[in-house]
Amino acid sequence: MSKTVAVVGATGAVGLEMLRVLHSRGFPVRSLRLLASARSKGKKLRFADTEIAVEPVTPEAFAGIEIALFSAGSSVSAEFCPLAARAGAVCIDNTSAFRMDPGTPLVVPEVNPHRIREHRGILANPNCSTIQLVVALKPLHDLGKVRRVVVTTFQSVSGAGARAMAELEEETRSVLSKRTFVRDIFPHQIAFNAVPQIPQKAAFLDGGHTVEELKMVNETRKILEEPSIGVSATCVRVPVLRAHSESVNVETERKVTAAQAREALVRAKGVAVVDDPANQLYPLATLAAGKDPVYVGRIREDSSIPNGLNLWIVSDNLLKGAALNAVQIAEHLL
């Protein structure tokens, strides 16, 4: 039952979370290989009670590997996932490299675990914002069939990596002390600000969308296996270190009351309902950070349309939005 496992991108924010999740969930690791760029060669990372030296990513590094967790950027995955798969590994890729490939399953275990068995050596982990959205949508889809979703995200800086988290911290200190700050990650000041979710120097796409917004549109349809669902997304980066928040409006074909939605979400795997506004209880980034569930609250009916619901969804983007979802897929492979 135990497996030989590789973590590609082990020194990054998600890679480090993958190591923690593998250990905390008791994943049966027989041996572990930590891979990263050549500049990290020899760096030692702790797993359980041992320290393991980081090795550079090479085609030869996947010899004997059974499960490879990738989170080192889409170009690395595009090059090395096929090589690792040919060497006999099952690759679980956290980048965008294979998500929309028709032959690659795009999996959230609470939503479409049946797709896992269809893999041909590569399984794709969805975008972090999409994962928490579909975990909350699936129970509602089963009840009333979702027709349209309008989602606005409030995404933490950890989604852009460890350097982005450091940039927010340092820029915050600089703004408060009125010092000049030269940013490297974000196109505008992120401290005390909200910025469209787009990488530095990247262009908006035709129609004014960002790549992140189109990911949510296309991935939601693929995971729910409903290409006709209307999805409108606006993605915003906010000065929060961990956990993404989403304001979601859902329109269903059949009427779903707020009480029915709440009951279904309470029963749903991977969901924690926090919905007591009278006592100031609702999902918060500070609540979700470091926790596994997708938190859902502010469940209420939308009076502007016959079959509408509003939700507030919060989840740790490094855990359920990345590392945890990947390890859960690996657990299904067992």
Q: What's the token pair of residue 59? A: 């085609």
In Å, how far are 16, 26, 90, 113, 120 from 117, measured between CA atoms? 27, 22, 11, 8, 9
Q: What's the token pair of residue 17? A: 């979370």
Our measurement of the distance from residue 118's CA atom to the centroid of its chain's CA atoms, rounded to an integer in Å, reads 21
**Minimal CA–CA distance to 219: which of 127, 137, 90, 135?**
127
Q: What's the token pair of residue 86? A: 């040919």
Is 244 known to be catalytic?
Answer: yes
Our measurement of the distance from residue 328's CA atom to the centroid of its chain's CA atoms, rounded to an integer in Å, reads 13
Q: What's the token pair of residue 288? A: 């979700």
- Please tell me which residue in 81, 128, 141, 209 is annotated as part of the active site: 128
Rounding to the nearest 10 degrees, give the CA dihedral for residues 172, 178, 184, 185: 30
- Please tell me which residue in 119, 141, 209, 244 is annotated as part of the active site: 244
Q: Which residues are catalytic?
A: 128, 244
